Chains A and B, each alone.
Chain A
C-alpha cells in the first residue's frame, strides 16, 4: 500500500479536482450564457396593469424613448420637422442635433456658394439616420469620397440629409420643391420606403408624433397605414396598403407618381439630376409595378432585398434601419451610380472598383429582382368583415379608421375581396349621440361614391347598393367611409368617431 501523501496520488487528486472545476466552470458558463442570451418576453399588458411599479418603470421608459424632438411646420403638407437648433439631444439611443431649419444637418447656405457641388439626400428616417450617429450616415461617407476622389475639382462638395422620420412622399416632395431654387441641388437622391404612401403624423405640443395628419386635418385621428392592424387593433399582422391591390393603396401610388414626376421635372428644370432609390425590401416588384414603370427608368434605382434584408446592415435584430455598415454600403452604391451615370459632371469622380461592385450587388441585382415575376403572396382576404369577430386575418384588411369597438372614424378604409360580387352591404348603428343627428357619411367603393348615410342617434344603419359594372373586373375593392362631422370619445376625448360598424360585405 502506498503512502496517501505519495506524489502520484496527490497528482491524481489534483487532476480530479481540475476535472470537477472544469465541469463546474463549463456549467456556470452555460448558465451565464443562458442568462445573457435568453429571450425576454415582451411586457404583457396584464402584468403591467397589475403591477404599479412595473407600470411606472415602463411609462418612464416610454416617455424617455419618445421625448419630443419634433416641431410643427407651417406647411401642412410637410407637417413636422425637428425642433430648430437642438444640441446633442439624447433621442432613442443617439444624439440628435438640428440646424435652424429643423433638419439633422449642419447649417445650409442660401444661396448655394459658388464652386459648390450640392447633393441632396431626400427621404425619411433612413436619410435622417435613425439609430446612428450623425457622422455615420450615408451622406457623410459619400461627401468625403466625392471630395477625395475628384482630383480635378477644387471646390466644395456637400451632401445634405433632408429627411425626417415618418415623412411620406407628399411631405418630402413639398419640402424640397418649395425651396428648390434656394437649395439649388446638382443632384437629388431620393430614398423611398414602402411606408411613403402612408399618412404622416403631425406633432403634439411636447414634440412627439400626434395621432393626426396635418395633410388631412379634416380626418382627425383617422391615420391610414399598414401598421394600423397592429398599432390600433393590437393584432399581429400588417395591412395590405403597400401591396396596392385596391383603390386605397393604388390611389396613393398614383398620387405619388404624379408628385414624383413633378419633382423630377422641377429638379431637371433647375439644372439638377434626379434619382429615386426604391428601398422596398420584399415589395420590390410592387414598387416597380406602381411607381417605377411610370417614371423614367434611368431615374429609378431598386435596392436588392438581399441587401435590405441582411441583418448585418440593421441597427438591431428587429429594426431594419441602416447601421453604420448599411450607410457605408449605400454610400458606396451611390458613388458607383454617380460615376456610372455621370450624375455630377462638374466633379467627374474617379471610378472606384468597390463602388462599382456595390452598385452591381445592390442596384443591378435589385433591378433584376424588381423586373422579375411580380409575385403577390397568397393573400387571404375575405369578402366580408364582421367587426365583432376580428382576428388577425380580418384585421389586416383594415387600412385605418375603425377602432377595436367597431367605431368608425371620420375616414375609414378597408379592403374586401371581390369574387363576382354585385352588391355592397353595410350594417351598423348610429351612436347614441344626438349631436351627430343629420350628419352625412359618404360610402364609397374605390373611387365610386355609392351611398350617403344620414345619421340618427341610436338608429340602425343598413346599406345595400349595387356595385358599378366596372368593379366586376377588380379582384379587391376598397370600401371607404367619409364623414365631415364626428364626436369625441375616449378618456381624454381625443378619439373622433362617427358610427358603429357591425358588418361590411361584397355580396353576389
Chain B
C-alpha cells in the first residue's frame, strides 16, 4: 500500500478514536453536570435551608445540648433530636430544642395552654416523655373537663441544669407567642446555682454563659464535692450569707417579673417549690416574697421517698412520681380555678394527693427553718481542707488553693478585720493585675499581683457586717491566666489563708 495512504489511515483511526473519546466525555459531562455553586453563608441565612443543614449536623453529633443565642438561657437541646440516648432514657426534641412535640406559635385560637417551666424535673430526666407530669396532667384535664371542646395542651419547657434566671428569661422572651393560660414553674434548690454552658460536642461546659467573664468559676452547692472531692455539700442553698441570699433575692425579682407579666396578660402563675428538707428555707427566701397563693410546697416525705425516684441514687421523679405531682397540680387547678375556661370535675385521688403532698408541704414550710449544727469557721487554711472546711467554699478555689476570676466562700463573723494571705502565681503576665476583695456586697480593698510575691493584707470589715453571723468573702478579677493540662482552667493567685480576725 501507498505509504501516504497508510499514514492517512492511521491518522483516520486516531482521529476516530479521539472523536469517540471526546463524544463520550461530552455525554458524561452532560449526564453529570457540575454541582451547583454554593454560597454557604448566603444559603445558611435562609431559615429553611439552615434548619435542614442543622438537622444533618444534629444527626452527626453525639451529645444532647446546643448553645442558645441568649446568654441568660445558655443552652437548650439540639433541635429535632430523634431518640438520642440521654441519661437513662431516649430523648427527642422539637425545633426549639425542647423535649416536647412541636407546638404552635403563636398559640392557635381555642387552645388552652398550660406551660410547665423548670429544669431536669420538667424535662423528665430518666423517664419517657409520656411518663412526665405534663402528659399525666393533660390526660387528667382532658378526661375531666366538662363541656370544653377546644384543644388543651400541657407543654414541658425545661432543660436540665437551667436555673431560675434561665427559665424566666426563656419563658418571658417568648411569652406573647407562647401565650400560656397558666404557667406552673417548678423550682428546686439548685436553681440558685450557676448554670453551665455547652461545649462544641454538645455536653455541658465548665462556664456559665450568664457570667462569661468569670470563665470556669462555677458556683454551686456541689462545688466542694465536685472539685475538692470532699463529702459535704456547700452552704449556698441555705441562704445564710450574702452569696446565697443575693441569689435568692435575684431569683425572687425574676419570678416576680414573670408573674407580673403573666398577670397583665390575664394568665395564672404558680410556683411549685420542690425543696425537700429545705422547705422552710424556700418559704423564707422565696415563697414569702410572693403572693401567698402563688407558692406551692411539696412535702419532704414525698421528695425523699425512693418509691418515686428513678433509681436509689437519683431522686428525679419516676413515672409514678410524675403522676403524683400531676394529681397535685390537677387539684390545685380545680381548687384555685386556674383554668376558668374549663369546668373541671373534682377528683378524690387528686384531692388526696394534694393533701398528702401540698398541704403537708405548706405546713412543713411554715415552720421555723431547722438549721443543722454547722461547723463554719472564721478562717480557712487552704492547704488543709477537710470536709467541713471545703463546704465553706461556694466556688472558685481549686484543690491547690488557686483562685479563679470569681471566688466566694463563707466565714463565720468572729472579728473586726479580714485577713488574706497568699502568693502571686509565678506568672509575670499577671503583674499589676488587681483583684477586688469583697465582704458581702462591700468592696473592702484590692490586691495587686506580682509574680511569686507573697500577699498578706488585712482590711477592716465594713459597718454593714456587724451583727451578721456569717459573711461571704469574695474575690473578683478581670484578668487571669490558664493552667492545667488543656490550659482551660483560669486562675489569678494562690490563696493560703483567709480569716475574719
Which A residues contact B (CB, under 8 angstroms)?
A: 7, 10-11, 14-15, 17-18, 21-22, 24-25, 28-29, 31-32, 35-36, 38, 40-43, 45, 48-49, 54-76, 80, 83-84, 100-102, 177-182, 202-208, 210-212, 214, 217-218, 220-221, 227, 230-232, 234, 266, 269-270, 432-435, 486-488, 490-496
Query: Is the CB–CB distance between B12 and A205 below 8 Å?
Result: no
| B479 closest partner in A (C-beta) | A178
Neighbouring A residues of B54 by C-beta, 8 Å: 63
Query: Is the CB–CB distance between B58 and A7 below 8 Å?
Result: no
Query: Is the CB–CB distance between A491 and B43 below 8 Å?
Result: no
Q: Give chain B nearest CB distance to A129 CB in angstroms.
A: 19
**In the complex, B96 has a CB within 8 A of chain A:** yes
Query: Is the CB–CB distance between A496 and B427 below 8 Å?
Result: no
Among A21, A57, A433, A495, max chain B CB count under 10 A is at: A21
Query: Is the CB–CB distance between B176 and A435 below 8 Å?
Result: yes
Q: How far is the CA of A31 from the CA of B206 in the complex (A)?
A: 59
Neighbouring A residues of B22 by C-beta, 8 Å: 25, 28-29, 31-32
Known A35-B30, A218-B71: A59·B52 in contact at CB below 8 Å:
yes
Query: Is the CB–CB distance between A206 and B57 below 8 Å?
Result: yes
Neighbouring B residues of A14 by C-beta, 8 Å: 5, 8-9, 12
Q: Give chain A nearest CB distance to B72 CB in angstroms.
A: 9
When each residue 37-49 of chain B gets 1 if its CB lies under 8 Å from chain A and 0 otherwise, what string results?
Answer: 1111111111111
Known A68-B57, A205-B198: A181·B29 in contact at CB below 8 Å:
no
Query: Is the CB–CB distance between A435 and B201 below 8 Å?
Result: no
Known A18-B15, A62-B44: A435·B261 in contact at CB below 8 Å:
yes
Q: Give chain B nearest CB distance to A60 CB in angstroms.
A: 6
User: Which among A21, A41, A56 is the interface contact of B19 at CB below 8 angstroms?
Assistant: A21
When each residue 89-103 of chain B gets 1 if its CB lies under 8 Å from chain A and 0 otherwise, what string results?
Answer: 000000111000000
Q: Give chain A nearest CB distance to B181 CB in angstroms.
A: 16
**In the complex, B311 has a CB within 8 A of chain A:** no
User: Which among A41, A66, A433 is the interface contact of B40 at CB below 8 angstroms?
Assistant: A66
Query: Is the CB–CB distance between A21 and B16 below 8 Å?
Result: yes
Which B residues contact A (CB, under 8 angstroms)?
A: 2, 4-5, 8-9, 11-12, 15-16, 18-19, 22-23, 25-26, 29-30, 34-49, 51-58, 60-61, 63-71, 75, 78-79, 95-97, 105, 172-177, 197-202, 205-207, 209, 212-213, 215-216, 261, 264-265, 426-429, 431, 451, 479-482, 485-490
User: Which among B23, B35, B69, B202 is the interface contact of A494 at CB below 8 angstroms?
Assistant: B69
Query: Is the CB–CB distance between A11 and B57 below 8 Å?
Result: no
Among A41, A270, A487, max chain B CB count under 10 A is at: A487
User: Which among A54, A66, A230 is the interface contact of B36 at CB below 8 angstroms?
Assistant: A54
User: Which among B39, B69, B201 is the interface contact of A207 at CB below 8 angstroms?
Assistant: B201
Neighbouring B residues of A60 by C-beta, 8 Å: 56
Q: What are the 9 closest A-B residue pairs judged by CB atoms, nearest first?
A: A71-B200, A205-B66, A76-B212, A63-B56, A217-B71, A28-B22, A21-B15, A14-B8, A59-B52
Q: Give chain B nearest CB distance to A203 CB in angstroms.
A: 5
Among B2, B16, B206, B488, max chain A CB count under 10 A is at: B488
Neighbouring A residues of B200 by C-beta, 8 Å: 68-72, 80, 83, 203-207
Query: Is the CB–CB distance between A487 and B78 below 8 Å?
Result: no
User: Which among A73, A207, A496 is the interface contact of B173 at CB below 8 angstroms?
Assistant: A496
| B491 closest partner in A (C-beta) | A178
Query: Is the CB–CB distance between B38 and A7 below 8 Å?
Result: no
Q: How far is the CA of A425 from the CA of B9 in the complex (A)?
A: 84
Neighbouring B residues of A29 by C-beta, 8 Å: 22
Known A68-B57, A72-B197, A214-B212: A486·B41 in contact at CB below 8 Å:
no
Neighbouring A residues of B8 by C-beta, 8 Å: 11, 14-15, 17-18
Query: Is the CB–CB distance between B176 and A433 below 8 Å?
Result: yes
Query: Is the CB–CB distance between A43 and B105 below 8 Å?
Result: no
Neighbouring B residues of A433 by C-beta, 8 Å: 175-176
Q: Give chain B nearest CB distance to A265 CB in angstroms.
A: 10
Q: How far is the CA of A227 from the CA of B46 in the complex (A)?
A: 16
Query: Is the CB–CB distance between A76 and B52 below 8 Å?
Result: no
Neighbouring A residues of B45 by C-beta, 8 Å: 231-232, 234
Query: Is the CB–CB distance between A227 and B41 below 8 Å?
Result: yes
Among B11, B61, B71, max chain A CB count under 10 A is at: B71
| A218 closest partner in B (C-beta) | B71
Query: Is the CB–CB distance between A435 and B49 below 8 Å?
Result: no
Chain A to chain B contacts (Cβ below 8 Å), 18 pairs: A17-B8, A28-B22, A35-B29, A40-B35, A40-B37, A63-B60, A65-B40, A66-B53, A76-B212, A178-B429, A206-B202, A207-B200, A210-B69, A434-B264, A487-B173, A491-B47, A491-B51, A492-B96
Q: Give chain B nearest CB distance to A444 CB in angstroms.
A: 22
Known A43-B43, A74-B489, A496-B173: A58·B38 in contact at CB below 8 Å:
yes
Query: Is the CB–CB distance between B15 and A22 below 8 Å?
Result: yes
User: Which among B67, B71, B201, B429 is the interface contact of A83 at CB below 8 angstroms?
Assistant: B201
Query: Is the CB–CB distance between A43 and B38 below 8 Å?
Result: yes
Query: Is the CB–CB distance between A221 and B41 below 8 Å?
Result: no
Query: Is the CB–CB distance between B487 and A182 below 8 Å?
Result: yes
Query: Is the CB–CB distance between B480 and A178 below 8 Å?
Result: yes
Known A63-B53, A75-B490: A434·B43 in contact at CB below 8 Å:
no
Query: Is the CB–CB distance between B481 and A178 below 8 Å?
Result: yes
Query: Is the CB–CB distance between B173 and A486 below 8 Å?
Result: yes
Q: Give chain A nearest CB distance to B90 CB in angstroms.
A: 18
User: Which among B69, B177, B265 is the interface contact of A212 at CB below 8 angstroms?
Assistant: B69
Q: How far is the CA of A130 from the CA of B207 in the complex (A)?
A: 29
Besides the known contacts A42-B42, A74-B216, A181-B429, 15 further A-B residue pairs in the complex with CB atoms under 8 A apart = A35-B29, A43-B38, A45-B46, A58-B43, A58-B49, A59-B53, A61-B35, A72-B200, A74-B206, A102-B486, A178-B480, A205-B67, A206-B200, A212-B71, A496-B173
Neighbouring B residues of A18 by C-beta, 8 Å: 8, 11-12, 15
Among A7, A205, A207, max chain B CB count under 10 A is at: A205
Q: How far is the CA of A400 from the CA of B47 in the complex (A)?
A: 18
Neighbouring B residues of A204 by C-beta, 8 Å: 66-67, 198, 200
Q: Give chain A nearest CB distance to B130 CB in angstroms.
A: 25
Neighbouring A residues of B79 by C-beta, 8 Å: 492
Q: Give chain B nearest CB distance to A91 CB in angstroms.
A: 13
Among B75, B261, B429, max chain A CB count under 10 A is at: B429
Query: Is the CB–CB distance between B12 and A221 below 8 Å?
Result: no
Known A21-B12, A21-B16: A435·B173 in contact at CB below 8 Å:
yes
Query: Is the CB–CB distance between B216 and A231 below 8 Å?
Result: no
